[in-house]
Structures are given as structure tokens and as C-alpha cells.
Amino acid sequence: MRPVVLVDLDDTLIPDVSAARAAISLVLQEFSLHEDVDAVLAAARETWRANAYRGHREVERVSSWEALWADFTVLPEIAEALSGHAVTVWRAACPGADAEALNRAYVRQRSQLVVPFVGAVAALDRLAEGHSLWLATDGCRSLQREKLRRSGFDDRFERIFVSGEVGRPKGSPEFAEALIKALDGREVCLLAGDSSTDLALAAAGGWPAVHICGDVPCAEPGRHSVDFAGVPAFCRC
């Protein structure tokens, strides 16, 4: 069988943090509000941290900015507890504004920004010529699979592992064990991702890693690429 390439999603194949900031900025402009993007993100962090259900296995790896547009209604165990979370954030961040309208606008703007990084599609095509592509991502099932659908990546991977579905954080030994079991002895060529969580997963599984670092000099040991477009060059299969 062909060797496997494990790939991260957020800030590896598609923008995450930068897209969240851009979407917030567009919403503030749309409603002619003078609040700062950082103030909205601070309200999102404070509200998310205060939620008693944030540690639930389905959402424990959901960031505060992702919780602003995640569809929690498909998670029956916690849907009611998380209902209205995003509206609460917008109400706290922009007092006096229509929080419901801001929420709808953010979901719309953020959804439109789910687009692959330049070169990501071509890199996946190159890797797929000799490998099976598997995705490993942190987050809740509804949001991560919606990102895959919107980016056009939903049919690009042989296997998809989402921490909310696995029930363990991506960088944990338990998540690595789930992958090892699924691999059933298959070789892993490399794991590509941007975060320390990706490096932890690679270490737990004993797999070579390529760290996506951007233009910022990286102090992490190992192999590095500015973006995912450069990852195929590290394949030695």
C-alpha cells in the first residue's frame, strides 16, 4: 500500500487566525463601528473561557475565534449550553449594536474566507501521486467538516481525523494511538502542520514532521517550510 502523508488543516491548508481577524474587520466596517478587532477577540476569549462546557471533548480544542461561527446545534449533548455564545460575544464587544445582526454578518464573512492558501491544491496533487492523504485536525466535527466542504478539500483525503470525533486532543498520545491503529502498519512519509500540536503528534507517533513556519524564523528543531506549497520537496519516498 502507498505510504501516508498526514496533513493539518487550519493555517496549513487554509487560513484561520488571519481569516478570523479579517472577517471581524469586515463586520465592523459593514456596520460602521469603531470598536477594535483586538477588543472583539478579547471579548471572545473571555466569554469562551467562562463557558463551563468549553472542556467537553467535542469542543475542547475549539479556539475562541472559531467558537464565533461554529455550528453547535449538531452536538446534542452541549448544544443548549452553547446556544447564543457568539451573540453574547458581539453584545459584550459592541455595546448598543445589533448583536444578532453582527453575528449573522460574521458567519457570512468568515465563511467566504475559507479558501486554500496559494499553492496548497497543487502541493496536495503532487503528494497524492504517490501517497495516501490523511487529515488530522483539532476542532469540533461540524466546523472542521464545514471548512473542508467550503475549501473543496472534503473529497481529497482517504481518512479524516477530527479531535472532536476522536475524543482526544490532536497532540495527545491517545490521538496518535487512534492514528496508529488506523494505519495498521502502513508507513507514514511525513506529517505537515503549522503548530506545536502537530509537532507533538508527530513525536507521539514517531513520524517525520515538516513544520509550516511562514516567514518568521523558527526555533523549533527539524524540517521547516514557509508554506504547504513547499512540503512535497521533503518527501523521500
What does pTM read for this prediction? 0.94
Q: What is the mean pLDDT of the chain?
A: 95
Quote the radius of gyration of the chain (alpha carbons, Å): 18
In terms of residues, how long is the chain?
237
- Domain of 36 in residue numbering reads as 17-112
Whether 107 and 122 share a structural domain: no
Sign of CA dihedral 63, 172, 125, 184: negative
Residue 115: is its pLDDT beyond 80? yes
Whether 120 and 8 share a structural domain: yes
Residue 34: is its pLDDT beyond 90? yes
Whether 124 and 36 share a structural domain: no
The predicted model gives 4-22 an average pLDDT of: 98
Whether 119 and 154 share a structural domain: yes
CA distance 27 to 33: 8
Q: Which of 66, 94, 112 is the last residue of a domain?
A: 112
Instruction: Give which of 80, 88, 62, 226 is closest to 142, Cα–Cα.
Output: 62
Contact criterion met (CB below 8 Å) for 7 and 160:
no
Q: Which pLDDT score, from 0 to 100, does residue 133 have?
A: 98
Residue 206: is its pLDDT beyond 80? yes
Residue 128: is its pLDDT beyond 80? yes
Whether 180 and 196 share a structural domain: yes
If pLDDT is split at 50, 70 and 90, which confidence band does 216 have? confident
* Per-residue pLDDT tens digits for 35-81: 999 999 999 999 999 999 999 999 999 999 999 999 999 888 888 88
Q: Which of 50, 83, 112 is the last residue of a domain?
A: 112
Residue 186: give its domain's CATH number: 3.40.50.1000
Q: Which pLDDT score, from 0 to 100, does residue 230 have?
A: 97
Whether 127 and 102 share a structural domain: no
Contact criterion met (CB below 8 Å) for 101 and 87:
no
Contact criterion met (CB below 8 Å) for 85 and 64:
no
* Per-residue pLDDT tens digits for 144-199: 999 999 999 999 999 999 999 999 999 999 999 999 999 999 999 999 999 999 99
Q: Which pLDDT score, from 0 to 100, does residue 43 have?
A: 98
Whether 73 and 120 share a structural domain: no
Whether 104 and 184 share a structural domain: no
Q: Which of 112, 132, 163 is the last residue of a domain?
A: 112
CA distance 152 to 55: 30
Q: Which pLDDT score, from 0 to 100, does residue 74 have?
A: 87
Whether 199 and 226 share a structural domain: yes
The domain tally of the chain equals 2
Q: Which pLDDT score, from 0 to 100, does residue 110 have?
A: 98
Whether 97 and 125 share a structural domain: no
Whether 127 and 107 share a structural domain: no
Whether 108 and 130 share a structural domain: no
Residue 95: which residues within 8 A CB-CB, separation 6 or more? none
Residue 2: is its pLDDT beyond 90? yes
Q: Which pLDDT score, from 0 to 100, does residue 222 have?
A: 84
